[in-house]
Amino acid sequence: MCYFFNLKAGLHGFFQKESRRRRVIQADCEMGEKEEEYFEEMPTETLARLYVRQGFPEKGLSIYRKLRLMDPANRELEKTLEDLERQLTGGTGQGGGKTDERALKTLENWLSAIQDKKGRLKMKESEQNRVLVIHGPNLNMLGKREKDIYGTATLDQINAELVAAGEEMGLSVETFQSNHEGDIVDRIQAALEGCRGIIINPAAYTHTSIAIRDALLLLDIPVIEVHLSNIYKREPFRHKSMTSAVVTAQIAGLGKQGYLVALRAIAELIK
Ligand code: DQA
């Protein structure tokens, strides 16, 4: 029992120190995977000492060995390692190979509980950062349609790239395509419910739709208008955008990259 509380107190201090340290070192690091790597791969003297103190010298030893590989010139580390190796082979010191399976299990459970919790926090964070991408008429035909102007990527491919890039940025990307003006208006109105940003390529409606323009005026979030082609280099009727004056920014002529640039911009704007 006493042993367990010792372990608990030791771990509590350790996690407090380590989390402070990690906040400094990995201030702009994403949670989740990177931290899993951290736990599994980042050997520290604190962790090694903790294992030894709590009666898991073999685990401590293996961490000290990794540390020595990383810093072979460190004399102090070398000495600690030699002492520990001597203790273990000589059967003296901190309990040798005597391992309390229950306490070790507790340690492992705590690590996995912390990782779970972080995973959940990350998910919540991205759910809160919903970004909607709206594609207007005929964009469902990308990949088939005027490839010299719009490129060869299909809409599904573009959407998949956006969803993946969004995950990297902590954004949950939803995509929507419609050939119908009213449906696009409905979707913009629905974005009033918790959406943090919109990327919209109104396609041909860019040049005609007062309804889409009016719907966008309802929103108080970053809205970026994207066009695959540079509409200003094309036919005069494409030079006029009904929506450009009511959006945060317009990107035209970067092909599918334009959407990714817009997503990055939204991630920055809503930080
Ligand atoms: C477009 C340009 C529009 O003029 C055209 O009607 C489209 C696509 C673009 O992405 O370049 O459908 O919005």
Q: How many CB atoms lie within 10 A of CB 156?
A: 13
Ligand 1 contact, 199 CB (< 6 A): no
pLDDT on residue 97: 52
pLDDT band of residue 187 (cuts 50, 70, 90) is very high
Which range (20-34, 61-75, 211-225) has the least confidence? 20-34
Ligand 1 contact, 204 CB (< 6 A): yes
Q: What is the residue-wise DSSP string for 77-107?
A: HHHHHHHHHHHHHHT-SS-TT---HHHHHHH
pLDDT digits (tens, 9 = 90+) for 85-125: 888 876 544 444 555 677 787 788 888 888 787 777 766 66
The radius of gyration computed from the CA coordinates of the chain, to the nearest angstrom, equals 28
Ligand 1 contact, 229 CB (< 6 A): yes
Residue 156 has pLDDT above 70, yes or no: yes
Pocket perturbation via mutation, ligand 1, pick of 178, 199, 201, 209 by most ligand atoms within 8 A of CB: 201
pLDDT on residue 43: 83
Q: Which of 51, 205, 227, 259 is catalytic?
A: 227
pLDDT on residue 245: 98
Which range (77-91, 167-181, 257-271) has the least confidence? 77-91
Residue 132 has pLDDT above 80, yes or no: yes
pLDDT on residue 27: 45
Ligand 1 contact, 209 CB (< 6 A): no
Prediction pTM value? 0.59
Pocket perturbation via mutation, ligand 1, pick of 139, 179, 206 by most ligand atoms within 8 A of CB: 206
Residue 38 has pLDDT above 60, yes or no: no
User: Alpha-carbon distance 97 to 95, whole Å?
Assistant: 6
Both structure tokens of 102: 């229950």
Which of the two residues, 36 and 214, has the higher pLDDT score? Answer: 214
Which of the two residues, 122 and 258, has the higher pLDDT score? Answer: 258
pLDDT band of residue 269 (cuts 50, 70, 90) is very high
Residue 131 has pLDDT above 80, yes or no: yes
Instruction: Report CA(56)–ligand 1 centroid distance (Å).
Output: 64
pLDDT digits (tens, 9 = 90+) for 200-244: 999 999 999 999 999 999 999 999 999 999 999 999 999 999 999
Q: What are phi and psi of 225, to 5 degrees?
A: -90, 130
Name the average pLDDT for the chain. Answer: 84
pLDDT band of residue 37 (cuts 50, 70, 90) is very low
Which of the two residues, 175 and 39, has the higher pLDDT score? Answer: 175
Instruction: Report CA(166)–ligand 1 centroid distance (Å).
Output: 23
pLDDT on residue 14: 56
Identify whether 227 is a catalytic site residue.
Answer: yes
pLDDT band of residue 266 (cuts 50, 70, 90) is very high
Q: Which residues contact 44 (CB under 8 A, 6 or more apart)?
A: 18, 63, 67
Task: Give domain 129-269's CATH architecture.
Answer: 3-Layer(aba) Sandwich (3.40)
Q: Which residues contact 115 (CB under 8 A, 6 or more apart)?
A: 35, 36, 39
Q: Which of 150, 207, 232, 259 is catalytic?
A: 150
Which of the two residues, 105 and 69, has the higher pLDDT score? Answer: 69
pLDDT on residue 242: 98
CA 42 vs CA 7, 23, 47, 90, 193: distances in Å? 21, 14, 9, 29, 41
**Nearest ligand 1 atom, CA 226:** 10
User: Alpha-carbon distance 145 to 150, whole Å?
Assistant: 7
Sketch the domain layout of the chain as residue ranges.
2-123, 129-269
Instruction: Report CA(267)–ligand 1 centroid distance (Å).
Output: 24
Ligand 1 contact, 138 CB (< 6 A): yes
Q: What is the mean pLDDT of residues 60-72?
A: 88
Q: What is the mean pLDDT of residues 45-68?
A: 87
Q: What is the mean pLDDT of residues 38-58?
A: 79
